[in-house]
Amino acid sequence: MSSTFGRIFRIATFGESHGGGVGVVVDGCPPRLEISAEEIQRDLDRRKPGQSRLTTPRKEADQVEILSGVFEGVTLGTPIAMLVRNADARPSSYENMKDLFRPSHADFTYEAKYGLRNWQGGGRASARETIGRVAAGAIARKILKQVAGIEVLAWVDRVQNVQAKVDSSKVTLEQIEASMVRCPDGDASQEMIERIDEARNRKDSLGGVVSCVARNVPPGLGEPVFEKLTAQLAAAMFSLPAVKGFEVGSGFAGTELYGSEHNDPFIPGKDGVPDTSSNRSGGIQGGISNGQPIEFNVAFKPTATIGVAQQTVDRDNNPTTLEAQGRHDPCVLPRAVPMVEAMTCLVLVDDWLRQCSVQVLD
Amino acid sequence: MSSTFGRIFRIATFGESHGGGVGVVVDGCPPRLEISAEEIQRDLDRRKPGQSRLTTPRKEADQVEILSGVFEGVTLGTPIAMLVRNADARPSSYENMKDLFRPSHADFTYEAKYGLRNWQGGGRASARETIGRVAAGAIARKILKQVAGIEVLAWVDRVQNVQAKVDSSKVTLEQIEASMVRCPDGDASQEMIERIDEARNRKDSLGGVVSCVARNVPPGLGEPVFEKLTAQLAAAMFSLPAVKGFEVGSGFAGTELYGSEHNDPFIPGKDGVPDTSSNRSGGIQGGISNGQPIEFNVAFKPTATIGVAQQTVDRDNNPTTLEAQGRHDPCVLPRAVPMVEAMTCLVLVDDWLRQCSVQVLD
Amino acid sequence: MSSTFGRIFRIATFGESHGGGVGVVVDGCPPRLEISAEEIQRDLDRRKPGQSRLTTPRKEADQVEILSGVFEGVTLGTPIAMLVRNADARPSSYENMKDLFRPSHADFTYEAKYGLRNWQGGGRASARETIGRVAAGAIARKILKQVAGIEVLAWVDRVQNVQAKVDSSKVTLEQIEASMVRCPDGDASQEMIERIDEARNRKDSLGGVVSCVARNVPPGLGEPVFEKLTAQLAAAMFSLPAVKGFEVGSGFAGTELYGSEHNDPFIPGKDGVPDTSSNRSGGIQGGISNGQPIEFNVAFKPTATIGVAQQTVDRDNNPTTLEAQGRHDPCVLPRAVPMVEAMTCLVLVDDWLRQCSVQVLD
Amino acid sequence: MSSTFGRIFRIATFGESHGGGVGVVVDGCPPRLEISAEEIQRDLDRRKPGQSRLTTPRKEADQVEILSGVFEGVTLGTPIAMLVRNADARPSSYENMKDLFRPSHADFTYEAKYGLRNWQGGGRASARETIGRVAAGAIARKILKQVAGIEVLAWVDRVQNVQAKVDSSKVTLEQIEASMVRCPDGDASQEMIERIDEARNRKDSLGGVVSCVARNVPPGLGEPVFEKLTAQLAAAMFSLPAVKGFEVGSGFAGTELYGSEHNDPFIPGKDGVPDTSSNRSGGIQGGISNGQPIEFNVAFKPTATIGVAQQTVDRDNNPTTLEAQGRHDPCVLPRAVPMVEAMTCLVLVDDWLRQCSVQVLD
């Protein structure tokens, strides 16, 4: 069950980092959407390894093949299966980790759960699994653009303690992509890059925060109670590897305010729809979008796999030391940006499609 | 769909703050569990209004009736329906809010989504909805205790900027319940109470952080990819009213460390199972429990409904001013504690039951 | 999981024949539907026991209370909980069956599954469980009527070997309800009644066939592959107690024809939509409605609980004899008619709501 | 949503008859099951076209590739993706059907639902879609064999009006596979083959009945209410192309008996478990298995696509005539046998896995 996401626009991902390949089946995509492998590839290219010196040197073209569900350039309404082959897999790099558990990685917990694991790389816990999500997210993104001009943008807002200053109401994809680290604040970007270079040289790793905004989301998306839009986004973000925290709008900092300081006053808006004069709610009230930009932060821990020597145990519970070889990102954040966007698009398109049936008696 | 939670141990809540009552149907509870209304009432009494001067003066006994699924003191395996009648409902208190939108409340978004709302109180967005969850959580809690001695405890860790010091490995239910504000640190508890009294007198409200620990959770619970234990807990917490943030283990602060500082080294543990010498993972690695205590924080914003005069608009988008009457908690945190525990128990019992089928070939 | 039905218009039933009551929670009902307890009661009254001498003399008013989800006469979009109290429960009638298994009843299998059962009546396997479905079905029926003039009618088509002649294109609710046995063919109705009277006098029971038609269903409802409209209806009907068979359109008999005899020729229809000159497809092709009336038959076995002496075993696997007391229907078919209609309405409304999201790019 | 089946052992199929290929993702398969592509191929070979002169001459090797979820010969517990490429696709054969609707096929209803269709073959409505099910079913079959020695066998019981005589308690796979038409009754088999040859020569088609037995199913599988084992099997069978009817045990014929004739008397059985002296229940009582063989019949209509000239309309609602070219089975039943078995195995393995959590307090 764990590999399915969404209620109506529902995706099922598959694949390990080593093996035949990774991919996704998208069920519930509306028919007659124009879509091409090229459009999907665009987002995959932002996710793929080896795109800059900041990322793992693993070389993967990550070329997507659409196996079904698209005919003569448009969606059929039937499941869209997409496959990316694993190419640059080097199981031998993992031989020395076969019988021990990498600290803070999923090695031990997979074994505890399943009684075995694919030790050739991260297996299912590898970030390669997110390829399917990014491919599906590209379709979701296009639907959102088409039905309501919804735009979803994420960027690296902090690396370690290097904090960017970004105006979320104005930031553009171009500004984000102009930075190797995907931080649209030039000064901070430069400092982040230096910090990551330094960490890589030390064979160490860094964490930080990705911020995301969704603009032009109309009021009314999301649901009360268990499937609040906040809850859906929280689950979506925590489903990404290495995520440790999630906050919407004012988040943790907002808890230090009085209610009278924190509430977003309503003011008369356009077309008879109320506006708010602040957005500490992050665009969501009572679990439902209120028409303001949806804004949230996602905390990513420093990459678990590092070259620095670490204390650990082997599968027989004996103490040992690990200096991981493999090819790993010293900082996952630049590549996490398209993943955060993809998961956000998947949540929003699902809620958009759910809302159709709510309005059936209008 | 929004009112269902869980895959195997699945609950469906119903009810608004004003109307016939609120309740829950629990499907998938294993048969032959001894359970009584009294045991369930115990958790409900920790959640109910009017239990101290810190909470809303609304007087509700919140007495639960078990309608089905329990026979001769044990569960039947069939759905357990539980009902709590609404007693002290005063729709007249809400007359003046009928045609306007409370800032940062769910009034506007419900209208945007559904085209109407039950204006008599919070309707479905009221915290009364959580009664069903707490009742179901009491059953979940008992199963967890019985199958593995799992213990789930939450407490108020911060109110506004009053931060408690709590040793999560030793804190007890008695220590928590000894404090009117459910903070086991005596000094902080006292200061929090003063802060809340002051806010109530100002007709204002406060937010803060609830912390939670789940002890004795064995390794192997949770799932890879979309239903990571972290993702399930995040969704569970964000499904509670007023939640703005969630972090597991080292959370946001952990992102400032190097990987070599952040990783939890494995050390040989008892019975051939690895232990870790730190717990920045918060008991979860790769989305699956690792046998360490599960630890997380939940940020609650200050209560939206306050007596202080606020700027807002009415349903016709005209500016107006609101001084909310009603009876509201100046700080939801003390009553949020059993809600956080209940949602945690619901997640863990569901994952426990899911894990049964994973082990079928053992 | 077993007590939930539907994807978008989703119901969860609860309750045993003896205990606090039975009921249903309806989630996903569109907002702003006018609905009253009286409208729902109308269908419940067609289902309730004691309505004629053909049914069990158990006396239950089966009065429904709407607990939530309806405000000022219209639906809120939030869960609609409905409760019917158990009134005329006589557990003492079942004392002699406490420790033995009624042949072809669910006594043994419930014990095999759950390790216990509520022996006071049928427990969860009682037909009282269908009260929640009929109540929810009444809401579904109203939506279908309102959005597309869809009309769902079922009738008793055969009792034992007494076969009615009914023109499914013209039969009306009035004709059906005019018959005590709910058979719109007067002669057959008379004969069926005599047959049932005779069976009751013999302390025996009878089975038969209920037929159903859904008119004005537009083309395009249902889904390919696993959730074909036929598959959904089959599951819906087999979820009713005592069902042994289901066939759509030409059904089993159609398998004896050649393809050239069986195919429904398309002919030009109104408004540019093709018509068919026959309806052996029963209104469904490839799992999706084709605009013709949906037609199917449901086989109900003779009631398992009979007064005639039967060979059985007790809970210790010892042979014994049973002459059931209790109060039972000699033939369930007249009361099964509203159940078949309710399940059909629940399927169709769910498919209607699903189809909304399919058309989102139109 | 329509392409997902199962709760715990959950499959998602994808693919059209023409395009990149067809396949399946199996989620929830227990870890550490030994499985090979060869074992899966065995069932696929029984399903594939061109295996005898009775089936379509379309030539497809239907060679399966396991893309993920299996490592060093055993399952990982993570999703198992399997792909079969489309090889012998000849879209040109369908050119003349591009703009008209084949009678009793899914052409019109797909267009009504989605506004377009893949006219190159049956698209998603093609029987090629069942490849994924048969592949997944082979895994399910192996688990059932391993955990409880469960054996699932189906055979062709009737073609048109040629009825076989088969002892369901003794029939073997070898007997079934020895017949080109998969009917273990030699005389009937011969007559069926002649009948199919004759239909093919007439460019016409035939229907019939597939029977199925599942042996060694323990008591307790299946669930009350909506997910009765009967309901799950009914939905599973009606999800197959061309199915018009389904009956369990005594089925439609049983409705002509009195209750006293129809009930299955309990008699003392082995190991303290009750046996029954007849099996009109078809192994299922109250929706739950009772330990007797599960037995049911599935009605398949004659193939819709035939070479005989038929009246139809084109996409503009104009009358026209169709003589289908393409390559089609004159009778789907021989190839339906492994499909019926696969769906049965998928249902049973899912119920087996569900039952694990029911027994958690034992």
Cα of first residue to Cα of last residue in chain B, in angstroms, is 35
The angle formed by the CA atoms of residues C25, C27 and C30, to the nearest 5 degrees, is: 130
Residue among C225, C274, C285 minimizing CB distance to D2: C225
Dump pLDDT digits (tens) for C136-168. 999 999 999 999 999 999 999 999 999 999 999
Residue among A77, A143, A224 minimizing CB distance to C358: A77
Dump pLDDT digits (tens) for C180-204. 999 999 999 999 999 999 999 999 9
ipTM of the complex: 0.97
Count of residues in chain B: 362
Enumerate the residues of chain B whose CB falls inside 8 A of the CB of residue C123: 71, 76, 78
Establish, for the pair of chains A and D, how many residue pairs have beta carbons separated by less than 8 Å: 147
Under an 8 A CB cutoff, do D27 and A65 touch?
Answer: no
Residue among A202, A205, A245 minimizing CB distance to B246: A245
Q: A17 pLDDT exceeds 80?
A: yes
Chains that touch C (3 or more CB pairs under 8 A): A, B, D
Token representation of residue A263: 């509430």
Cα of first residue to Cα of last residue in chain C, in angstroms, is 35
Please give the residue of chain D at the shortest CA–CA distance from C228: D239
Query: Given the DSSP bridges, would you call strands C275-276 and C319-322 parallel, antiparallel or unpaired?
Result: unpaired
Residues 6+ apart with CB under 8 A from A218: A148, A289, A291, B112
Enumerate the residues of chain D whose CB falls inside 8 A of the CB of residue A8: 1
Q: Report the mean per-residue pLDDT for chain B.
A: 95
Average pLDDT over residues B140-151: 97
Percent of chain C with pLDDT over 90: 87
pLDDT at A13: 97
pLDDT at D319: 95
Token representation of residue B351: 């994952």
Chain D: give the shortest CA distance to residue C57, in Å.
Answer: 19
Q: Where are the alpha helices (DSSP H) in C156-294?
A: 173-177, 186-201, 229-238, 251-254, 259-262
D4-356 CATH:
3.60.150.10
Chain D interface includes B358 (CB < 8 A): yes
Residue among C3, C67, C78 minimizing CB distance to B20: C67
Residue among C32, C353, C360 minimizing CB distance to A30: C360
Q: Are A130 and A49 in contact (CB under 8 A)?
A: no
Residue A5's Cβ-count burial label (10 Å; 0-12, 13-18, 19+) is buried
pLDDT at C55: 79
pTM for this model (two decimals): 0.97
pLDDT at A1: 58
Dump pLDDT digits (tens) for B2-48. 899 999 999 999 999 988 999 999 999 999 999 999 999 999 999 98
Chain C interface includes A309 (CB < 8 A): no
The strand pairing partners of A248, in sequence order, are: A296
Token representation of residue B269: 């543990």
Dump pLDDT digits (tens) for D158-177. 999 999 999 999 999 999 99
Q: C1 pLDDT exceeds 70?
A: no
Nearest to residue A120, comparing CAs of B281, D139, D76? D76
Considering only residues C240 and B327, tell me which one the structure prediction assigns the higher pLDDT: C240
The strand pairing partners of A66, in sequence order, are: A82
pLDDT at D96: 79
User: Which residues 81-140 of chain D have a CB within 8 Å of chain C?
Assistant: 101, 103-106, 108-110, 112-115, 124-125, 129
Average pLDDT over residues B339-347: 98
Chain C: give the shortest CA distance to residue A162, in Å.
Answer: 43
Residue C339's Cβ-count burial label (10 Å; 0-12, 13-18, 19+) is buried
pLDDT at A67: 97
Lowest-pLDDT range of A119-133, B246-260, C81-95: C81-95
Packing angle, helices B229-238 and B333-358, rounded to 10: 150
Chain A interface includes C226 (CB < 8 A): no
Under an 8 A CB cutoff, do B361 and D30 touch?
Answer: yes
Residue C56: C-alpha distances to residues C333, C334, D228 (Å) = 12, 11, 25
Dump pLDDT digits (tens) for B264-286. 999 999 999 999 999 999 999 99
Chain B: give the shortest CA distance to residue C338, in Å.
Answer: 23
Q: How far is residue A119's CA from residue B253's CA, in Å, rounded to a whole number?
A: 31
pLDDT at D1: 58
Q: Report the mean per-residue pLDDT for chain A.
A: 95
Under an 8 A CB cutoff, do B239 and A248 touch?
Answer: no
How is chain D split into domains, by residue range?
4-356
Q: Report the mean per-residue pLDDT for chain C.
A: 95
Please give the residue of chain C at the shortest CA–CA distance from A9: C357
Residues 6+ apart with CB under 8 A from A347: A6, A229, A232, A233, A236
pLDDT at C328: 79
Please give the residue of chain D at the shortest CA–CA distance from C270: D317
Q: How far is residue B5's CA from residue B133's CA, in Å, rounded to a whole number?
A: 9
Average pLDDT over residues B181-196: 98
Q: Which residues of chain D have pLDDT under 50?
A: none
Average pLDDT over residues C53-74: 89
Chain A interface includes D77 (CB < 8 A): yes
pLDDT at A161: 97
Under an 8 A CB cutoff, do A68 and D114 touch?
Answer: no
Enumerate the residues of chain A whose CB falls inside 8 A of the CB of residue C30: 357-361
Please give the residue of chain A at the shortest CA–CA distance from C77: A358
Q: How far is residue D94's CA from residue B328's CA, in Å, rounded to a whole number?
A: 69
Torsion over CA: B235, B241, B245, B247 (sign) = negative
Q: C220 pLDDT exceeds 90?
A: yes
Chain B interface includes A15 (CB < 8 A): no
Q: How far is residue C219's CA from residue D109's CA, in Å, rounded to a whole number?
A: 6
Chain A interface includes D23 (CB < 8 A): yes
Residue C49 banded pLDDT, cuts 50, 70, 90: confident
Chains that touch A (3 or more CB pairs under 8 A): B, C, D
Under an 8 A CB cutoff, do A143 and C361 touch?
Answer: yes
Average pLDDT over residues C123-129: 92
